[in-house]
Chain A
Amino acid sequence: MGILSQLIFLPAITALVLLLIPRLPEKLSRLITFAVTVVVFFISVQLLGDFAGTGAFEYEERASWLPSLGISYHLGIDGISLFLVLMTTFLSPLAYLSAWKSINKRVKEFSILYLLLQTGMIGAFVSLDLFLFYFFWELMLVPMVFIIGVWGGARRIYAAMKFVLYTIVGSLLMLVALLFLVRYAAGVNGYVSFDFEDLLRVSIPARGQMLLFLAFGLAFAVKVPLFPFHTWLPDAHVEAPTAGSAILAGVLLKLGTYGFIRFAMPLFPDAAHAMAPVIAILALIGIVYAALVAMVQQDIKKLVAYSSVSHLGYVMLGLFVFNMTGTVGGIFGMVSHGLTSAGLFLLVGVIYERRHTREISEYGGIARTMPVFATMFFLVTLGSIALPGTSGFVGEFLVLVGAFRFSPLYATIAATGVVFGAVYMLWMVRRVFFGPVTKEANRKIPDMNLRELAVIIPIVIGIIVMGVKPAPILDRMESAVSVHLERMGITEIVEAGGADHSTVEHASTEGD
């Protein structure tokens, strides 16, 4: 069994085993699940070892699944998906660890769903057969709905239903489009196949491309979420338990952007080009609008949720400016946002567990009572507002450079988002952490314990390492991105990208 299959099946089999053991002690199911997510992480690290970064798919695995329907079990990764997989396996044990105390009822069921969710996420990132991708894409949905609906806050059922309905409308239309695409491709190729590479060879007439792109795009845009399809997100994030929010923001949203870059754009390049202005403008609206909305939030979690909409706007902008810098920046931004947003949600969870409120006005001055927590929060915030030297900076800077080449106006508007981002995050930090301690309850909040530090420190390290030394990651992405751009009909010399990240590194060192 190849590495990718191990990553997919290990959590799924563990989930099945947990399911079949009745009356498992809570502690044991926690330990098993945590151990498995850690093992999965270490298995995934092996991917880096032999990764050549040629731009072609590596670690490919093929097996027949439903041959008569043209469906195969085809896995593989390239520079685009590699880091998303790593991010998933990296965040999974951390988010699970964060739920060690807060998920204290129905632990076994939570663990089963969590593991299934992990299987779905990894499976979706590594599938190269579109049917398989759809399979995993839907497989993620069910556990997430349960995690929100069972372990969530007061309005959890509403949030869970909203999440599922938004997602399912998009994905069912994607299914129809997929069937249509496969049917068309079968006519051209002479055989039915859901394989990504088989479908890629087919060029589709412009009108058909547009409809198919819109159907795929809707499914992905809901997941991203692109303005105006984002309204499920604040509800889902706020109501989900901490670990759920972290995975939702950290990984699930990336599946939307990943869907665009992996499938929707290369399969329908003409439509992607034609729709680029619309998507870029929606992304810009999302960046600015979500930042403004985040500014007025009273609830920390909601604020972080809106910040996700804003940050994902950058990613989308980066993907749709069709140049090396922007695209690499977008992908880097996905990984970086995975770390920062998951980090922020996990940190919000830390104080929520202590005070059971997320209202900003309930806090104030807790930097004095919780110095370690404040430090960690501040570091992750810096990553989120894209301070040079953090991962957020690299992604957003590259996106802005790429956008500037595409259209200076877009870049200017997007840049205001960076400013707003700094405003709402720092304002929130000021109100929560600084100033006098006004609430009695805040005087003796215990600081972070070892477990919580163990959760957050790897994330903080990740944010800083990615910010200071982005080159190894960017290098591995580049050839895959140039293959992607070629598929989009754009040939760009890799040197341009090379020049760019020297700029980034220069800026980063200055920032330090």
Chain B
Amino acid sequence: MKPPVITPEIVQAILPFVILALGATAITMTGIWKSKRGALLSLIVLLISAWKLGPLVEGGPTITWAGAIVADRLSMLLSAVLVCSGLLTVLIARPVLRRENNDRPEFYGLLLFSLSGMLLIVSTTNLLVIFLALELLSLPLYILCGYNREDARGGEAALKYFLLGSFSSAIFLYGTALLFGATGTIDLAAMVEGDRLLSITGALLVLSGFLFKVGAVPFHMWAPDVYDGAPTPVTSFMATSVKVACFGVLLRLFALAGEAGGPFALLMRGENMGNVLWWIAVLTMTVGNISALTQSNIKRMLAFSSIAHAGYIFLGLIPGSGSVDVRGVLYYLIAYVFMTTGAFAVVAALSSRDRGREVTGVERYAGLGFRRPYLGLAMTVFMISLAGIPPTAGFFGKYLLFSSALDRGLTPLVVIAVLNSALSVYYYLRPVVVFYMRDTDRPVQVDDSITLKLAVFIGVVCVLWGGFAPDLGSLPGVPTILGWVEASAAALP
């Protein structure tokens, strides 16, 4: 077999990833002389990566390289979203780490390593590369969860995440092995139906690995503790980027399976075991929402809410009578990144540490809405968006997912999802209620750093942009979110 040639196009396509990986290495090195410029350096690296990514998002041919790298518009859009999420995370992390006297370049190095893993995972169809990327994105996260050494809960979170995460990686790898045994290939695009039992088992195990990462029921048990224990910027990063990356893979996986058949198509058609995905969607959103109802700690609440959102996204992955709803899932992921990161930015601005423990009870926010009008407004926008009320990106995301699910004949599922989002309004409005409708004589300290404000501002602008004008096609020069999403969706079969 001839070794595949490295063309300039391939270099261009993997350049954003390479920049991130090299940047991560360099930034980690600066830790030797205790540099305080980790945030700045990582912002520069991310911006360069985004700059290289920009033209690829707007267009460009699909490039595949030895089945290991697939650079199409889908992977580029997902990469762009991931880089955005990374940028926002750095903006949130810097003031929080400064405040806690913990601003070390290693944090940003690890963050970029994880991000480079995410960029890799969304641009491949090779199960082994996926595994490699999965480890590359997970290992830094395990460390980041326990980044704050004084916080015992952070340590607990890290250990828990590490143990369960390695377990799920092992299961994923086992599934890969079975699939290889059944089909004789590890390239998803080339997989055909092999031995039935082996195929189904392998596909289920591979799927379980991802279900774990996105926190889908019944693999969600780790999520609340880990999200709660990790430092807020890390939580925000995990809740958004990891989901984008893993749903990106699932999207590709199911879209390919829908087209070419293979082991995952067996799973999707659900001849043997009923529709597994259907039940995962229902359970994930319902369990997420019901558990979120009673949370008074806002980080736990957002953790459960992120589980619920994973459930809504699964709506787009169920083919029903049609095919996978790439457009809806992509749009939802973008909306989800901005609204959730925004909410976490507000949480980060308002949290403080009490003897190492991060304090994030909702009750502390009493009366803040009027003392800090813009912060209050931003939080209201994020919560309304998460609840799926117009005029926000969250509403349009749900709208696209639900309407295409109806097209594919999934009416009962949509009704369940809608009742779930009605339920979610109750807990999303609670922070808003506390912000505006309660008062306190012990005002909480607000972090006023400019980068946090910037992160919140970007979040609000994107959420409202996605809500009012996801489709501003008639104005020249204004990019359209829907346009991007549709072009990327077209990249898949």
Contacts and interface: CB of A to CB of B under 8 A. Distances in A.
B418 A142 contact: no
Contact of B402 (A67, A139, A161, A175): A175
Contacts of A10: none
Interface stretch (A163-171, A417-425, A453-461): A163-171
A69 B377 CA distance: 29
A145 interface: yes
A149 B437 contact: yes
B452 to A, nearest CB: 19
A145 B387 CA distance: 15
Contacts of A66: 470-471, 482
B473 interface: yes
A161 B433 contact: yes
Given A135-B391, A173-B418, A67 B437 contact: no
B158 interface: no
Interface string B179-212: 0000000000000000000000000000000000
Contact of A142 (B370, B389, B433): B389
Interface in A60-117: 64-69, 106, 109
A180 B406 contact: yes
Contact of A160 (B402, B403, B415, B437): B437
Interface in A447-470: none
A362 interface: no
A176 interface: yes
A48 interface: no
Given A109-B373, A164-B429, A179-B403, A150 B418 contact: no
Given A149-B437, A161-B429, A169 B422 contact: yes
Interface string B414-426: 1100110110011
Interface string B108-126: 0000000000000000000
Interface in A151-205: 156-157, 160-161, 164-165, 168-169, 172-173, 175-176, 179-180, 182-183
B411 interface: yes
Contacts of B395: 138
A134 interface: yes
A393 interface: no
Interface string B432-455: 010011100000000000000000
B384 interface: yes
Nearest to A109: B370
B407 interface: yes
Contacts of B101: none
Contacts of A142: 380, 384, 389
A356 B174 CA distance: 72
Contact of A150 (B377, B407, B425, B437): B437
A182 B438 CA distance: 42
A141 interface: yes
Instruction: State the majority secondary structure of interface residues on A.
Output: helix
Contacts of A182: 403
A497 B414 CA distance: 44
A146 interface: yes
B474 interface: yes
Given A138-B390, A142-B384, A164-B425, A67 B436 contact: no
Size category of the binding interface on chain A: 35 or more
Interface in B454-478: 470-471, 473-474
Nearest to A179: B403
Contacts of B486: 68
A172 B433 contact: no
A344 B475 CA distance: 49
A28 B296 CA distance: 39
B381 to A, nearest CB: 10
The DSSP consensus for interface residues of chain B is helix
B429 A150 contact: no
A466 to B, nearest CB: 35
A179 B390 contact: no
Contacts of B436: 146, 149-150
Contacts of A165: 422, 425-426
A68 B425 contact: no
Given A68-B482, A150-B437, A134 B390 contact: yes
Given A149-B436, A164-B429, A176 B415 contact: yes
B426 A176 contact: no
A71 to B, nearest CB: 8
Contacts of B425: 164-165, 168
Interface in A352-408: none
Contact of B422 (A146, A149, A172): A172
Given A138-B390, A145-B429, A175 B471 contact: no
A141 B422 CA distance: 13
Given A169-B422, A172-B421, A183-B406, A139 B390 contact: yes
Contacts of B377: 19
A168 B411 CA distance: 19
A163 to B, nearest CB: 11
Contacts of B406: 176, 179-180, 183
A7 to B, nearest CB: 18
Contacts of A176: 402, 406, 411, 414-415, 418
Nearest to A105: B370
A311 to B, nearest CB: 28
A47 to B, nearest CB: 26
Residue among B403, B414, B474, B482 with max Cβ neighbours from chain A (10 Å)? B403
B437 A156 contact: yes
Interface string B374-393: 00010010001000011100
A168 B422 contact: yes
A171 to B, nearest CB: 9
A334 B391 CA distance: 28
Contacts of A134: 390
A141 B425 CA distance: 12
A169 to B, nearest CB: 5
Contacts of B399: 175, 179
A180 B411 contact: yes
Interface string A282-324: 0000000000000000000000000000000000000000000
13 contacts: A67-B471, A68-B471, A68-B473, A106-B370, A146-B436, A149-B436, A150-B436, A156-B437, A160-B433, A160-B437, A161-B426, A168-B389, A168-B425
Given A135-B391, A160-B437, A165-B426, 14 more contacts: A22-B373, A66-B471, A67-B474, A160-B433, A168-B389, A172-B418, A172-B421, A173-B418, A176-B414, A176-B418, A180-B406, A182-B403, A183-B406, A183-B407
